[in-house]
Amino acid sequence: MFMLALTESKKIIFKLLVCLLISTKLSTKLISIGVNFMEKTISIRNTEITFSIWDLGGQREFVNMLPLVCNDAVAILFMFDLTRKSTLNSIKEWYRQARGFNKTAIPFLVGTKYDHFANFPKEDQEEITKQARRFARAMKASLIFCSTSHSINVQKIFKIVLSKAFDLKCTIPEIINIGEPILEYTNI
């Protein structure tokens, strides 16, 4: 799950919270403290935008750190593993708790590991996509499937988040066909 927080200043600051799904790539430092922080600054039309990335462990014991990254967030990206349906089901509780701390942030539902999901049988892809769409509708969230290892929709996520956060027109074509990397962000 990512969270973005926007401050009112010349230098726009974003906070991104990443609630990591269980991963062997987690460092012991991250596991022991539950949160990690990184920043990346980009320039768009002579305006600096800093993405402050908050990595939060997905385990229940880290839920007490949720207010740290939810407060003042402009957008929240709730991430789940497309290859593990249980992670999509866990979004309900993360959403409920995050909304308790911030009711105004723009929600996004992001399915990860699309590269593996694309190899699933068509019936499984249909079932998971339909459930993700139901969740996204209930959350009033954009729905995006991505793969970091194959650079599928990763840059597009940030462009869509920026367009929603600043109420800008987004020209990225939507992808709605099951079996393709879903990008549904209009008519929410």
> Which residue ranges form the domains of the chain, and what is each CATH number?
2-184 (3.40.50.300)
Q: How confident is the model at residue 12 (pLDDT cuts 50, 70, 90)?
A: very low
pLDDT at residue 4 above 70?
A: no
85-100 tens-digit pLDDT: 998 998 898 899 889 9
Task: Name the DSSP letter for residue 173.
Answer: P
**DSSP string computed for 109-133:** EEEE-HHHHTTS-HHHHHHHHHHHH
pLDDT at residue 32 above 50?
A: no
Q: How confident is the model at residue 33 (pLDDT cuts 50, 70, 90)?
A: low
Beta bridge partners of residue 20, listed in sequence order: 57
37-68 tens-digit pLDDT: 767 777 777 887 777 666 666 666 667 777 87
Which of 28 and 63 is assigned the larger pLDDT?
Answer: 63
Over residues 158-176, mean pLDDT: 91
Distance, CA of 88 to CA of 15 (rounded, Å)? 23
pLDDT at residue 7 above 60?
A: no
Distance, CA of 101 to CA of 122 (rounded, Å)? 38
Give the least confident one: 6-10, 69-73, 114-118.
6-10
CB atoms within 10 A of CB 70: 23
Q: 136 and 109 in contact (C-beta within 8 Å)?
A: yes
The reported pLDDT for the residue numbered 56 is 67
The reported pLDDT for the residue numbered 54 is 66
The reported pLDDT for the residue numbered 109 is 95
User: Among 117, 51, 105, 52, which Cα is nearest to 80's?
Assistant: 117
Beta bridge partners of residue 12, listed in sequence order: 49
Cα 117-63-59 angle, rounded to 5 deg: 45
